[in-house]
């Protein structure tokens, strides 16, 4: 495919997304019908689509319209590329720009320039204060790729050398011990031997930092209550089982999310038990709860355009309910850890404040809001101690 043909394909996918089709489904539908497209073509079309999704409002303003075509014109203008150089109408490239399209477009303003819905722009400012602008700007960019070195299989230097031998360049990141930021060759990770042998796992550095901050000691019995794919459970197992051992259990309200966990644990050399009905007490229960995902919108940008105030209210209710249930699983004197990949205070500090009001005697030992400026996604974590 030519560069112009890739843009035309991206425009068609974006129109399907605007009509309500989820992004991944729209991309899959296009790729199934485009068997002529190679892996580089599919990657390029995907990049165009997600670049626009991150900048949904500003590209529409600068492109002079809300179609996929207009938004791509706006994206090219933002990137300093003359749209007329690619919108030529030749072959499978998009049709040449009309006089109206050449004249259209304006500079975005306010929340539009920050590529946020107005109501979320207000919430983010209330949540982060002076840091909100930088956080919103970061969400407009592609996210870096991070790996967690699995210490059950090797150390950081071993992992870096193995990855470099396969054309994957990395550098340590200070936010979490054992974290590597991928600087080149990210698309080779899934097919690499280092990944296949469990030496490294894909995990955001802020997510790694949340686990690194947990006061894990040998012999502990811990539960990842909202495990999802089990990334944090595996990280906890690496810390505990690399010393004198400990028991790590994983649970999720939808067990299908954990379907890959047994294979991942085997690859990592970790012992993680999937449990349908957790039976306490546990020394530590981690609740990485369902949330808006606002801290990870540069990875899943569609989320910031799909989220509604009603859905956010629903999520905060779910979060509070999970915390209340989890209290019953924590041993007296034990720890309840709360985490979100959100930067909205209503899901974070306000949730913890409400929890403490509902549960007298529990104490807050520490909490931290991570923002993209720290290096990874926007995450929040808090550690709550149950009275002995």
Which runs of E-coded beta strand occur in 225-276? 247-250, 273-274
Q: Rounded to an integer, what distance in angstroms lies between the CA atom of residue 164 and that of residue 320?
A: 44
Residue (of 291, 261, 289) closest to 276 by Cα position: 261
| 3-state SS class at 387 | coil
Among residues 226, 287, 291, 341, the one annotated as catalytic is 341
Distance from C-alpha of 222 to C-alpha of 377, rounded to nearest angstrom? 25
DSSP state, residue 214: S
**Active-site annotation holds for 226:** no
Q: Are 147 and 200 in contact (CB under 8 A)?
A: yes
| Separation of alpha carbons 352 and 380, rounded Å | 11
Strand runs (DSSP E) across the chain, as ranges?
A: 145-149, 169-172, 179-184, 200-202, 221-224, 247-250, 273-274, 282-288, 330-340, 363-369, 380-385
In the Cβ-directed half-sphere of 309, how many Cα atoms lie within 13 Å?
7
Annotated catalytic sites, by residue? 341
């Amino acid at each position: 495919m030519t560069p112009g043909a890739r843009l035309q394909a991206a425009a068609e996918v974006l129109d399907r997304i605007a009509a309500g089709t989820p992004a991944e489904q729209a991309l899959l539908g296009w790729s199934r019908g485009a068997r002529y497209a190679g892996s580089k073509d599919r990657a390029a079309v995907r990049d165009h689509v997600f670049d626009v999704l991150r900048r949904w409002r500003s590209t529409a303003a600068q492109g002079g319209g809300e179609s996929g075509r207009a938004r791509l014109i706006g994206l090219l203008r933002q990137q300093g590329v003359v749209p007329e150089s690619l919108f030529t109408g030749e072959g499978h490239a998009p049709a040449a720009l009309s006089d109206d399209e050449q004249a259209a477009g304006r500079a975005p303003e306010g929340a539009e320039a920050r590529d946020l819905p107005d109501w979320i722009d207000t919430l983010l400012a209330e949540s982060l204060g002076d840091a909100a602008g930088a956080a919103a700007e970061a969400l407009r960019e592609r996210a870096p790729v991070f790996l967690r070195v699995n210490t059950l299989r090797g150390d950081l230097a071993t992992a870096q050398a193995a990855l470099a031998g396969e054309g994957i360049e990395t550098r340590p990141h200070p936010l979490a011990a054992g974290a590597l930021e991928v600087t080149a060759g990210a698309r080779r990770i899934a097919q690499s031997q280092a990944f296949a042998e469990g030496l490294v796992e894909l995990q955001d550095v802020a997510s790694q930092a949340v686990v690194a901050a947990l006061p894990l000691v040998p012999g502990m019995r811990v539960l990842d209550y909202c495990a999802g794919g089990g990334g944090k459970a595996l990280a906890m197992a690496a810390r505990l089982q690399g010393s004198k051992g400990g028991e790590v259990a994983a649970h999720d309200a939808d067990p299908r999310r954990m379907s890959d966990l047994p294979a991942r644990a085997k690859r990592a050399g970790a012992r993680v038990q999937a449990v349908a009905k957790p039976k306490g007490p546990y020394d530590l229960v981690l609740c990485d709860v369902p949330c808006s995902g606002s801290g990870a919108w540069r990875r899943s940008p569609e989320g910031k355009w799909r989220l509604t105030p009603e859905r956010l209210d629903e999520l905060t209710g779910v979060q509070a309910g999970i915390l209340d249930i989890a209290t019953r699983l924590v041993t007296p004197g034990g720890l309840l850890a709360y985490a979100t990949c959100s930067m909205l205070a209503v899901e974070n500090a306000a949730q913890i404040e409400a929890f403490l009001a509902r549960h007298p005697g529990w104490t807050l030992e520490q909490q931290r809001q991570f923002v993209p400026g720290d290096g990874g996604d926007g995450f929040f974590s808090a550690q709550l101690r149950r009275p002995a």
